[in-house]
Amino acid sequence: MAHERGVLEAVTEARKQAIAAGADVAMRATAENILGMSLRSLFATIEGYPQLHASENMLGLQEELSSTENRIAFARQHYNDSVMVYNTAVATVPGNVVAGVFAFKPEVLFAADAADRPPVAVKI
Pick the more confident residue, 81 or 114: 81
Pick the more confident residue, 96 or 42: 96
pLDDT at position 91 over 90: yes
pLDDT at position 6 over 70: yes
Count of CB atoms within 10 A of residue 32's CB?
A: 21
Beta-strand (E) ranges in 37-81?
none
pLDDT at 11: 80
CA distances from 17 to 14, 20, 27 (A): 5, 5, 9
User: What's this model's pTM, rounded to 2 decimal places?
Assistant: 0.58
Confidence of residue 5 (pLDDT cuts 50, 70, 90): confident
